[in-house]
Amino acid sequence: MTLKFYMTPGSCTTGIHILLEELDLPFEVTIVNMPAGDHRRPEYLALNPKGTIPTLVLDDGQALTEFQAIAYWLARRYPRKRLLPEDLLLAAQAIELMDYVVGTVHGQGYTRIFTTERYVPAGLAEADRIAWLDGIAARGREIVAEAFAVIETRLPDAGYACGADFSIADAALFYVEFWADKTGISLPPRCAAHYQLMRARPVVQRVLREEGYR
């Protein structure tokens, strides 16, 4: 049975898409159109009751959800590409960075930018609602900038995030760097260098083309 990957182009699923392509695995793609409500359809909720992306259906039919879980499973299931460093400390640092990216940069920062309405109390007058929207989006950008400043302190001067080799942490960091590029948020120097290093990878270029970016 082929792996089945449920994704939305340009979302956090781009990071998992990169990992699948790096492993050169055969997989079947289903596009989840979030604005159209695909993530709330009964057939999707049967796979992922949380209604989130990404979802990866494994060879045995079991479904994995959450970026970190899928990335970890791919790294351990297919160790030949060394997507998780062999050194115990470097492996832990890769997971640490991946978790910070997904939980803080994405989960606390970009959700306020991309899904601002979710944070607005119900029943506000229109003027108050607009003020809330502006404030929430601005706070999201602050959180993202602050988080990139933290990441900057732990990145090496050159190369990948956790050692000489590309890892699951790089795939996670790339998707939020890509979002920063698309939303006009400046990256600090080491993050910017990492982003350009990732953009130069043939697999990343292919994934972006496949997802509709040039």
Higher-scoring residue by pLDDT: 2, 104: 104
Task: Give the pLDDT confidence of 204-213 residue by residue, as tens digits.
Answer: 999 999 999 9
Task: Give the pLDDT confidence of 55-109 residue by residue, as tens digits.
Answer: 999 999 999 999 999 999 999 999 999 999 999 999 999 999 999 999 999 999 9
Q: Are 172 and 71 within 8 A, CB to CB?
A: yes
Taking the C-alpha atoms of residue 10 and residue 16, their distance in angstroms, rounded to an integer, is 11
Q: Which residue's entry shows tokens 């909720």?
A: 45
Angle at 180 between CA 32 and CA 91, to 5 degrees: 80
Q: Is the pLDDT of residue 214 over 80?
A: no
Domain with CATH 1.20.1050.10 in the chain: 88-201
CATH class, 88-201 region? mainly alpha
What pLDDT sits at residue 163? 84
What pLDDT sits at residue 79? 95
Task: Give the pLDDT confidence of 9-64 residue by residue, as tens digits.
Answer: 999 999 999 999 999 999 999 999 999 999 999 999 999 999 999 999 999 999 99
- In this prediction, residue 1 has a pLDDT band, given cuts at 50, 70 and 90, of low
Domain with CATH 3.40.30.10 in the chain: 3-81
The superfamily in CATH containing domain 3-81 is Glutaredoxin (3.40.30.10)
pTM (2 decimals)?
Answer: 0.95
